[in-house]
Amino acid sequence: MPKLRVHNIAVSLDGFAAGPDQGPDAPLGRGGERLHDWVFRTRYGRDMIGDPGGDPGPANDILAAGDDNIGATIMGRNMFGPVRGDWPDDSWTGWWGDTPPYHHDTFVMTHHPRPDLPMKGGTTFRFVSGTLEDVLARAFEAAQGQDVRLAGGASAIRQYLAAGLVDEMNLAIVPTLLGSGERLFDNLGTLPGYRVVDMVSTAAVTHVWLARSA
């Protein structure tokens, strides 16, 4: 049965998925880029930016596994970009340039309508409202039997966790402190219904897997 999966969501030791003062010049907030240093030490991460090299070790395999059997993606509007409220126009097309890394239908949760946005490489951003369940149903339909990835940001993940809709979650806990910003687990209590099922550590990052209890 297809699953809703969260992969490679980086958090600091003090629980922040982004630093303070997010904006067009700092999409992850001040200091937030440190959360992804481990990505660009891996071969898979370097390949994403067209720079050969990188470590082929365990972190590389875990990063790559986040793309396995994914047929559609869901993200919050804040992950798509810094524009708030009504869209002033359609000029903002995401942080990823002309060829975003998704290569399939990607559903952006927003209360403000906007036409679908086809991009190079097969990604089509679809701006959707409705309940979490409605958006997930559309994503599963688009995925055609494959899994759906919940890409972020922190607010979108919190909402789906609180609703008990995330089947599997992989955290990348990075040995850095941000001090403030956007926490991943605010107001979620002890996450009833989820359990830790595995952990792998390297010098740069500790990966922790959570799964929904049967």
What is the mean pLDDT of the segment spanning 74-98? 94
Q: Where are the beta strands (DSSP E) in 92-188?
A: 105-109, 117-118, 124-128, 147-152, 168-174, 182-183
Q: How far is Cα of residue 176 from the mean position of the Cα atoms in its chain?
A: 19
* Spatial CA neighbour of 158 closest among 8, 57, 17, 13: 17
Region 35-62: mean pLDDT is 88
**pLDDT tier for residue 55 given thresholds of 50, 70 and 90:** confident
> What does the pLDDT look like over 173-207, one tens digit per residue?
999 999 999 999 988 877 778 999 999 998 889 99
Q: What is the rounded average pLDDT of the residues 98-110?
A: 96
pLDDT averaged over the chain?
Answer: 93
Six token digits for residue 129: 């409202």
Q: Given a cut of 80, is residue 92 above it in pLDDT?
A: yes
The rounded Cα 192 to chain-centroid distance in angstroms is 22
What pTM, to 2 d.p., does this model score? 0.94
Look up the CATH superfamily of 4-19+30-81+97-212. Dihydrofolate Reductase, subunit A (3.40.430.10)
132-143 helix and 154-162 helix, angle to the nearest 10 degrees: 100
Which has more confidence, 107 or 21? Answer: 107
Q: Which of 68, 81, 156 is nearest to 117 (CA)?
A: 81
For residue 139, the model assigns a pLDDT of: 98
Residue 151 confidence (pLDDT): 97
Over residues 97-109, mean pLDDT? 96
d(CA 123, CA 106): 7
The Cα 95–Cα 79 span in angstroms is 9
pLDDT at 98: 94
Residue 137 banded pLDDT, cuts 50, 70, 90:
very high
Phi-psi region of 187 (alpha: psi -120 to 50; beta: other; left: phi over 0): left
At 138-168, the pLDDT tens digits run 999 999 999 999 999 999 999 999 999 999 9
Residue pointed to by tokens 């798509």:
80
Structure tokens at 199: 């952990």
